[in-house]
Amino acid sequence: MTILSGKRILLVISGGIAAYKSLELIRLLRKAQCEVRCILTKGGAQFITPLSVSALSEHPVYSDLFSLKDESEMGHIRLSREADLIVVAPASANLLARLANGIADDLASTTLLASNKEIMIAPAMNPEMWAKPATQRNVETLRQDGVMFICPATGEMACGETGLGRMVEADDILTSIKHYFLASAPLSGKSVLVTSGPTYEPIDPVRFIGNRSSGKQGHAIAEALAHAGAKVTLVTGPVALPDPLGVTTIHVETASEMLAACQSALPADIAVCAAAVADWRITAPAEHKMKKRADAEPPALSFTENPDILAEICRSGKRPPLVIGFAAETDDAVKSAQEKLVRKGCDWILANQVGKTENPVFGTDYNQVTLVSRSNCDEWPPLSKKEVAARLVEAMISHFNDTGLDQDDQPSRRPSTASR
Ligand SMILES: Cc1cc2nc3c(=O)[nH]c(=O)nc-3n(C[C@H](O)[C@H](O)[C@H](O)COP(=O)(O)O)c2cc1C
């Protein structure tokens, strides 16, 4: 999941050579898990086909204002109501002029005039057309109306002339869209360290001591944080899960490796220690595979205590302002969590009872947790691990809003490639 996952983009494609770049933009938006609906103007359809737009966006293309089918549901109103952001790319000089003057004479211009959403425009035209006072007046009017612009680039045009006017590349538009959503994301500007999965402590080169953690809860938390705009570093033990999109993932095996990776990811604003870290490691793992001999006794293993990653993070000179641990216990999870919170010096513990057959946690998609803080115990109902992650992220957002810890990091201070 990334900041763009599930975002609904209404893309308006008007009549210019750069319309071919909008096909790549649709592909990139789909790859970033956006929902894309497209309006293709009559001019736009001279440059790219509705079939290509429809195939790439995986939805019908809208072109006709007086469509009996679409307008039976007031298509020109619905399209903007169902979008999170409207992007016009490429925007022709003609469409800019109509928008600036409130003209609504086709589906694109009528939808834009009737919209209640923010509009981001990527103009594309010949340098003379762009430089004309009429076009510049229209751009200024639209800026004053609150429309965001992704300024055209300088370069050689399809007509052979060189100058300012060509539409920026599709990935630049994608970046502007990302910045737009990041700027309004609740954890924008926050960096978060998340640990997930088990650790494996080697006995010999082929055997290890591990545990039943699947990493599903930690990975879901990393994803939910990225979706809320945070910059997430996930340090994970061996799991059978894909790396979450939009998250920097570091793979480790042992507790010592996990500690080193965590230390390199600090400072951070939040640490969430969801990994099930082995308490002990084999003092001297065998260099070669241990052989089974019929006449020999089973090997005696000697253990050494592993570093306590949660406690180390809390003790660190770079302690994040909010440190969250997990306590998976087979007995009296909440009481153990309260003791653990004080002993380790963290701020919150998510306590869950594991090992009971009627409440399996390891490896499943469900979890039942109690959020324990120094002053409170909040028992959550049984939820999917993704829902636990979403609820935990909501709690973090409230915490930062209540404590005012994010005063230096207001989203509006983030640089954006689209400007008003
Ligand atoms: C080959 C060709 C290329 C064109 N390229 C552009 C362009 O890049 N930018 C632009 O504003 N208009 C361009 N035009 C003119 C527009 O297509 C024309 O103004 C049209 O009415 C725009 O319609 P629309 O705004 O409804 O899409 C071009 C026209 C032709 C024939």
Is it the case that residue 361 has pLDDT exceeding 90?
no
> Which residue's CA is the nearest one to ligand 1's atom 6?
16
> Which residue's CA is the nearest one to ligand 1's atom 9?
125
Given 34, 38, 151, 159, the catalytic residue? 159
Is it the case that residue 75 has pLDDT exceeding 90?
no
Rounded to the nearest angstrom, the distance between the alpha carbon of 9 and the centre of ligand 1 is: 23
- The CA-atom distances, in angstroms, between 379 and each of 207, 327, 328, 349 are 39, 14, 15, 12
Give the model confidence (pLDDT) of 131-169 as tens digits: 999 999 999 999 999 999 998 998 887 778 888 999 999
Q: Has 159 been annotated as catalytic?
A: yes
Name which of 28-42, 280-294, 400-414 the model is least confident about. Answer: 400-414
In this prediction, residue 177 carries a pLDDT of: 95
First-residue to last-residue Cα distance in the chain: 28
Rounded to the nearest angstrom, the distance between the alpha carbon of 257 and the centre of ligand 1 is: 58
User: How sure is the predictor about 296, in pLDDT bands with cuts at 50, 70 and 90?
Assistant: confident
To the nearest 10°, report the CA torsion of 388, 389, 391, 393. Answer: 160
Q: Where are the domains of the chain?
A: 8-183, 191-289+299-402
β-strands 191-196, 231-236 pairing: parallel
Sequence-distant (6+) residues with CB within 8 A of 140 are none
Give the model confidence (pLDDT) of 201-216 as tens digits: 999 999 999 999 999 9
In this prediction, residue 243 carries a pLDDT of: 92
Fold: same for 8-183 and 191-289+299-402: yes
> What is the CATH architecture assignment of 8-183?
3-Layer(aba) Sandwich (3.40)
User: How sure is the predictor about 406, in pLDDT bands with cuts at 50, 70 and 90?
Assistant: very low
Is it the case that residue 353 has pLDDT exceeding 60?
yes
> What is the CATH architecture assignment of 191-289+299-402?
3-Layer(aba) Sandwich (3.40)
Going 41 to 46 to 50 to 53, the CA torsion angle's sign is negative
Is it the case that residue 413 has pLDDT exceeding 60?
no
Rounded to the nearest angstrom, the distance between the alpha carbon of 103 and the centre of ligand 1 is: 17
Dihedral-angle region of residue 407 (phi above 0 means left; psi in -120 to 50 means alpha; beta otherwise): alpha
